[in-house]
Each structure stands twice: as C-alpha cells, then as structure tokens.
Structure 1
Amino acid sequence: MKTAVLKQQGIVLVFALLVLLCLTILGVSSVSSSLMQSKMAQSMESYNVAFDAAEAGLGGVIFESEDLAILSDDTVADPLTEARQGTAIDPALQELSCFDTATWTNRRITSAGVQSGVQNNAAGTYSDSPAVNSWSSTAFVDERPCLGSSNVVGGSNISCHIFIVKGCGQVVGSGYAVANSLNVSVFAPATNGG
C-alpha cells in the first residue's frame, strides 16, 4: 500500500515538473519572440527615417538647382552645373556611391533645411532624435539629343544633359545608408561636337 502511494506521488511530481518545464519553454519563447519583434520594429523605423533623409537629399539638389539666387550668381555653382564641369560617369562601369565623398558633387541637408543662395554643405545632422545624416551625390552622365517634342522646339542646337542624383540617408551608428536615385535631364545648348 505504501509503495503504491509513493509511486503515485512520484508520478505526480514528474508530471508537475513536466508542466513546469512546458510553461518555462512557453515563457522563454514568448519573451524571445517579443524581443525579435521589437528589434524588427526598430529596424523598420530606422529604415523609414533614413529613407526620408535620402528623399530630402534629392529634394535639396532640385531646390538648389532651381534657386534663382544661385543661378544668377557667377561665383556659386548649383549641383548640376558643378557636376557638369567634372568628369562624366559611365553608369555601366562606375557606381555612384553614397560613401564616395571625393569624386562626385556632394551636398548635405541639415535640420535647418536648405538655404537659398548658397551651396548646402553645412555640417550637421538632418535630425537629432534619432541622429540622422542626409546628403546627396550628383554625377554628370552625358550629353545626348533630346527625345520627343524638344527636337521640334529646340532644334539641333539644344541637347539634353543627363545627370544621376543619389539621395542618401543614414542613422548615425548604422552600418548602411538608405539611398534613392533620380535621373535628371536638363535642356541646354549643345557643346561643340556634343
């Protein structure tokens, strides 16, 4: 009789330990899943903030290239004019990199926004909470005949100057930058032999 009672108590103890083990596994799994979802949400938020900064980088180039104060000042060049005066890029052979700060025409967007009449190269972050950098790289591609109605309107002395603009955004401390590219075509007088 005592042996049967001891066996039953032993089985109850083993069963209780198994239930406790299952509950522990479920708890650890829930915490792990919650932490993973939190990391995913933070990563997505960082990506969205960096993408907004990249879009601001593109917008800054367009703003500065249409800024009448810059266009009427011979001592200051807008990003497209400055890139046109540099070496042309061959997109098939060269990559317009966010991290190449020497080869291309670069601009920076800070929390103060773009300023009229100046090249936007001031140091500073696009936002501070979290700290995010926003900048752009612009490169001249080539000069080619314009397609469509511009041939009729402009004649043979007008050509299309093609540019690539890459807007870049990066959360400070992140190992990657989010980028978006824009192709820009500007009508301009054809150069000799262009």
Structure 2
Amino acid sequence: MKQQGLVMVFALLVLMSLTVLGVASVSSSLMQNKMAVSMERQSLAFDAAEAAIAGVVFESEDEVLLTDPNKTDPLSEARQGAVINLAADDLSCFNNVDWTNRAVTAANGLQTNVEHTAVGLYNDNPAISSWSRTAFVEERACIGSSNVIGGSNISCHVFVIKGCGRLEGSKFAVANTLSASVFAPASQ
C-alpha cells in the first residue's frame, strides 16, 4: 500500500514538471513571436526611411525638375532656407522648422518633374508613412579637390537629409540620416 501512494506522488511530480516545461515553452514561443513581429515592423519602417532618402536623391537628380523654373528640388529649396545648426537644432523626424519636406507615396511612387510634397502612405498594407527632412548645413571648401578646382569659384554645399518611416499606430518613427555635399558656385 505504501508503495502505491509513493508511485502516485512520483507521477504527480512528473506531471507537474511536464506542465511547467510546457508553460515555459509556450511563454518563450509567444515572446519570440512578439520580438519577430517587432523586428519586422522596424524593418518595414526603416525601408520607408531609406525610400525617403532615395526620393530626395531622385528629385535632386531629376533633369526635368531642375530645369522647370516653377519647381524646386529639395536640395535647392533647402539651400534657399535658413542654415541649420547641428549642435543646437533638433534633428527629429517631427521637427518641421528649417527643413524641406518630401514624401514617398505608394500611389505616385517617384516620378520625374514632380515635387513629392503630397502626404500619403508609402505602403497601405500595412499602412506606412515615409517622409524626408532636408536642411542646409554649411558652405565650405571642398576637401581633396584643390588640385581639380584650385582657384575656381566652386565650393561644397553640405546638406543633411533625414529619412523617416513610421507604421500606422506606432508611437515612434525609424530614421536614417545622410550627409550630402554638392559642388556649387561659391556665394562670396
């Protein structure tokens, strides 16, 4: 009789151990699933931010847009604005001061002879916003170019381009920043 009771206690201990292991496995699987979904969402937002940077480069190289006197590419528009102070100004995706804004939309994509200023979604399933902020930083002598353009009236105009992407319902935006330097006539 005593042995039968001991076998039952041992069986209950084994069942309880298996239950704890099962619950731990399910909990671990749920946590890994949440992490994978979060990483996928961040990756989609980062792709949208990269597309926003590519949109600025695309517009800045658009020969049709560059020759249209009624339209301005983002770098030229930023050059006409105020100089941004990188030490003091907020480089947030949500700061609209001193920035030239552009957007990438799924409906229009990137088209020649178009200022991409319309607000829209980069992707609508899931809904992702994609926008850029471009600002003029400074005009300076071009490093390493003295042999090529020495004595000429050319300088480097430096810009900062911030690409931003955000999934609908997300509390944060994912961003990437590109620094661009363009040969241009010196302003002095």
Q: Same fold (TM over 0.5)?
A: yes
Question: Aligned residue pairs: how many?
Answer: 187
Q: Distance in 1 between matches of 2:111 and 2:126?
A: 23
| CA spacing shift, 1:176–1:152, aligned 2, 3 Å | same
Q: Distance in 2 between matches of 1:150 and 1:96?
A: 32
- How far is the alpha carbon of 1:102 from its aligned partner? 4.1
In our comparison, the structure showing a higher alpha carbon Rg is 1
Q: Which runs of 5+ in 2 are unaligned?
A: none
Residue 8 of structure 1 corresponds to which residue in structure 2? 3
Residue 126 of structure 1 corresponds to which residue in structure 2? 122
Residue pairs, 1:101-140, within 5 angstroms: 101-111=96-106, 112-140=108-136
Is it true that 1:61 corresponds to 2:56 in the alignment?
yes
Residue 149 of structure 2 corresponds to which residue in structure 1? 153
2:83–2:98 CA contact under 8 A, matched in 1: no
Q: Specify the SS of the correspondent of 2:151.
A: helix
Q: Specify the SS of the correspondent of 2:121.
A: coil
Identity %: 62
Is it true that 1:176 corresponds to 2:165 in the alignment?
no
* Structure 2 counterpart of 1:84, from 79, 86, 94: 79
Q: Specify the SS of the correspondent of 1:176.
A: coil
Range that drifts further, 18-27 or 91-100: 91-100
Q: Specify the SS of the correspondent of 2:87.
A: coil
Q: What CA deviation, in whole Å up to 9, does each residue of 1:74-117 have, x standing for no partner?
A: 22111111111111112122232111134311100011311221
Q: Which runs of 5+ in 1 are unaligned?
A: none
| CA spacing shift, 1:92–1:76, aligned 2, 3 Å | same
- How far is the alpha carbon of 1:9 from its aligned partner? 2.8
- How far is the alpha carbon of 1:12 from its aligned partner? 2.1
Q: Specify the SS of the correspondent of 1:135.
A: strand
- How far is the alpha carbon of 1:142 from its aligned partner? 0.6
Q: Specify the SS of the correspondent of 2:91.
A: coil
- How far is the alpha carbon of 1:60 from its aligned partner? 0.2
Q: What CA deviation, in whole Å up to 9, does each residue of 1:122-144 have, x standing for no partner?
A: 22211122111111110100111
Q: Specify the SS of the correspondent of 1:155.
A: coil
Q: Distance in 1 between matches of 2:46 and 2:174?
A: 6
Return the letter of the residue paired with 2:45: A
Q: Specify the SS of the correspondent of 2:50.
A: helix
Q: What CA deviation, in whole Å up to 9, does each residue of 1:164-190 have, x standing for no partner?
A: 001111111112211111111111111
Residue 34 of structure 2 corresponds to which residue in structure 1? 39
